[in-house]
Amino acid sequence: MAVAIAASVAMSDVDQGRVALIATEAATNLIKHAGGGEIVVRSVPTELGGGVELLALDRGPGIVDVGKSLRDGFSTTGTAGNGLGAIRRLSDEFDMTSTSNIGTAILARVRDKQTAGSHQKRYWRSGAVCLPVAGEVVCGDAWVVMTSAEQTSILVADGLGHGLAAATASGEAVRVFRGMAHAPLERILRDLHSALRPTRGAAVAVTTVDHSTRTLQYAGIGNIAGVIAGPDKRQGLVSLNGTLGHELRKIQVFEYQWPPEAVLVLHSDGLATQWDLHRYPGLSSRHPGLIAGVLYRDFRRGRDDVTVLAIRDRDEGPS
């Protein structure tokens, strides 16, 4: 599956081989050390750098010394002990986190060399999990991040229900948003409302961030949750009731400051809302893909599609 996704975005045979080795090593580690787990594979949009990302997630005993586990030759099961080191060497971006008695999460990205010089990389790092409910082959959620020199614009959409009809609604929201991502948020939501009338409808949140002032504007309709999670404060973002395409009573744009050390998390209602990054020491400073992966692993509801999008400063955290 990992190789097929790499091939679908026209990665070279060499890079497809790297993806295959990373997936194999990650799966082997899950079986040997955690009794199983889950690997989430996705293509990374071109505007976010391109390539393929793999998340290996488990609920195992955790790793006592992460630094030591990355050294070749270290093993707790009598193997050669080269697995994690190999994953790190094969990856263009690598990060991992482990919490005792909660589990381990590993992120590995192999970049598409032709698109790796992305504009977005200068400002923010982002990571996401967007998956359908069990039994469906398409996801009714969708998200997009678009960046210019002045601002970053973000959309998360959750088509009502799940399956193809939900995916059609959220996909239409993404299509329209891409054409007007830097317009005022109220205009974006009104245009989305009109565009989604022939569809099942969707809950949608749109956000813009001014790069120079770190001012975040947010407007949401329906049950998309937004949180600015800082080291000392958790700021919830306000969404209003309604469904774009069917019921839009009021649009209100809220403004927030985004502290440099904070993480912005947006998610659909496929994720429970009682998560707290302080439960995981050091996680808030890690790659946002790890943050999204851990929240998905521990708080997905399991009865609906789920999207978790995390964004933080580009220059903070390991790469």
Prediction pTM value: 0.91
Sign of CA dihedral 47, 48, 52, 54: negative
- Classified by CATH at the fold level, domain 120-313 comes out as Phosphatase 2c; domain 1 (3.60.40)
Domain residues of the chain, as ranges?
Answer: 2-110, 120-313
Q: Are 273 and 301 in contact (CB under 8 A)?
A: no
Structure tokens at 269: 């209602």
Helix (H) or strand (E) holding 236: strand 234-237
Residue 4 CB-density burial (10 A; 0-12 exposed, 13-18 middle, 19+ buried): exposed
Tell me the CATH class for 2-110: alpha beta
State the Cα–Cα distance between residues 293 and 273, nearest whole angstrom. Answer: 15
Other Cβ atoms within 10 Å of 126 Cβ, number: 26
pLDDT tens over the chain, length 319 residues: 999 999 999 999 999 999 999 999 999 999 988 999 999 999 998 878 889 999 999 999 988 766 676 766 545 555 544 578 889 999 999 999 998 889 999 999 999 766 555 444 456 889 999 999 999 999 999 999 998 888 999 999 999 999 999 999 999 999 999 999 999 999 999 999 999 999 999 999 999 999 889 999 999 999 999 999 988 889 999 999 999 999 999 999 999 999 888 999 999 999 999 999 999 988 999 999 999 999 999 999 999 999 999 999 875 444 4
